[in-house]
């Protein structure tokens, strides 16, 4: 009994450490983007902080590189407000996604993080009903809306040569709501998303984010996948309950769902009670178990 208690205590400590690491990364990037946004506003007033970038959020957003691809190929120029840094960041995020999936969504994106933080309050309000309020038959259809948003944003930007998505972008509105650059549409959508986050975890990520839609495709062929060892799985469904994107991890051998954000909340390091059962790896866990046994 004492050995089991000690094992559980050690596992809990590792789970807290993994969760805290992710939270620290999220806070760091949220603070960094907030500072960049504030510094951009200060620069326009002639009071910029020298050590910080004075670029706008559009200029350093990797999705800006995606919507500028057509104009760059056809005209060799960027869409207005987009900087070459967006292209560089775009390729960096793509490279990460090729190996680890949409870690940008689960660890870096400040707008995803704030939805998640609002959700902590929502869990206290709705308790077990939180993130389970939308019936599955509607939820599974709504999740494909973000691909329509991706197609619309890329097409309209290519046709008009302007960032049409900027007028309704809640991410941009979040960090610029006090400035005159934000359109009323962006503020309305930002408010709606934050309110909805009290009932549904990461609603914008699930149903509307065009960049999340694109990165989600990498889950089909990413090198490191979240894998479940079917031989040691006890079917407790702790992995399912912990997943912010409502992915049925307990029925997957390898998670290839287009909405996985690589948050790793489902793994044996965090919620799975059985060691080496849900892991991020390139090799089938059954193979690793057989090798260990031999």
Q: Is the dihedral of CA 116, 119, 121, 123 positive or negative?
A: negative
pLDDT in tens, 115-137: 999 999 999 999 989 998 899 88
Same-domain status, 228 and 214: no
Spatial distance between the Cα atoms of 192 and 186, rounded to a whole number of angstroms:
10
Q: State the average pLDDT over residues 261-271.
A: 94
**Both 23 and 104 in a single domain?**
yes
239 and 197 within one domain: no
Same domain as 228, residue 85: no
Give the pLDDT of residue 194. Answer: 97
Closest-CA residue to 212 (of 99, 62, 49, 70): 62
pLDDT digits 0-9 by tens, 236-248? 999 999 999 999 9
Whether residues 96 and 164 share a domain: the answer is yes
Q: Inform me whether the pLDDT recorded for 234 exceeds 50.
A: yes
Residue whose pair of structure tokens reads 């991890």 in the numeric block: 249
Instruction: Identify the domain containing residue 229 by its residue range.
Output: 224-293
pLDDT for position 69 = 75
Residues 32 and 139 grouped into a single domain = yes
Domain boundary among 171, 189, 219: 219
More confident residue, 200 or 53: 200
Tokens of 221: 């062929």
Instruction: Tell me 162's DSSP state.
Output: S
* Domain-located, residue 263: yes
Provide the whole-model pTM.
0.86
Assign 273 a pLDDT band (cuts: 50, 70, 90).
Answer: very high
pLDDT bucket at 10, cuts 50 / 70 / 90: low
154 and 82 housed in the same domain? yes
For the chain, what is the domain count? 2
Q: Is residue 1 part of a domain?
A: no
The pLDDT assigned to 161 comes to: 80
- Choosing from 199, 219, 239, the residue where a domain stops is 219
Query: pLDDT category, 46, cuts 50, 70, 90?
Result: low
Helix axes 184-196, 110-126, angle to 10 degrees: 40
Q: Is 144 found in the same domain as 70? A: yes
10 Å CB burial of residue 119 (0-12, 13-18, 19+) is buried
Same domain, 169 and 246: no
- Among 23-32, 41-50, 83-92, 169-178, the minimum mean pLDDT is found in 41-50
Q: Which residues contact 230 (CB under 8 A, 6 or more apart)?
A: 253, 286
């Amino acid at each position: 009994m004492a050995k089991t208690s000690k094992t559980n205590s050690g596992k809990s400590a590792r789970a807290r450490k993994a969760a805290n690491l992710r939270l620290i990364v999220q806070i760091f990037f949220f603070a960094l983007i907030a500072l960049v946004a504030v510094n951009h506003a200060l620069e326009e007033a002639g009071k910029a902080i020298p050590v910080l970038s004075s670029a706008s959020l559009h200029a350093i957003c990797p999705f800006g590189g995606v919507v500028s691809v057509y104009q760059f190929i056809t005209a060799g120029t960027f869409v207005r407000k987009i900087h070459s840094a967006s292209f560089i960041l775009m390729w960096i995020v793509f490279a990460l996604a090729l190996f680890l999936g949409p870690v940008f969504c689960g660890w870096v994106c400040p707008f995803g993080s704030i939805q998640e933080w609002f959700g902590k309050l929502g869990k206290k309000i709705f308790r077990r009903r939180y993130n389970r309020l939308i019936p599955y038959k509607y939820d599974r259809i709504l999740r494909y809306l973000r691909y329509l948003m991706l197609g619309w944003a890329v097409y309209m930007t290519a046709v008009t040569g302007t960032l049409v998505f900027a007028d309704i972008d809640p991410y941009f509105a979040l960090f610029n709501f006090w400035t005159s650059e934000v359109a009323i549409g962006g503020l309305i959508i930002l408010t709606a998303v934050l309110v909805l986050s009290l009932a549904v975890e990461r609603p914008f990520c699930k149903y509307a984010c065009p960049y999340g839609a694109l990165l989600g495709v990498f889950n089909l062929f990413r090198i490191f996948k979240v894998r479940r060892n079917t031989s040691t799985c006890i079917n407790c469904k702790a992995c399912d309950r912990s997943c912010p994107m409502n992915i049925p991890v307990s029925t997957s051998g390898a998670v290839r769902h287009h909405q996985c954000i690589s948050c790793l909340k489902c793994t044996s390091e965090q919620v799975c009670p059985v060691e080496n059962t849900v892991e991020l790896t390139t090799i089938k866990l059954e193979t690793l178990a057989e090798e260990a046994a031999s």
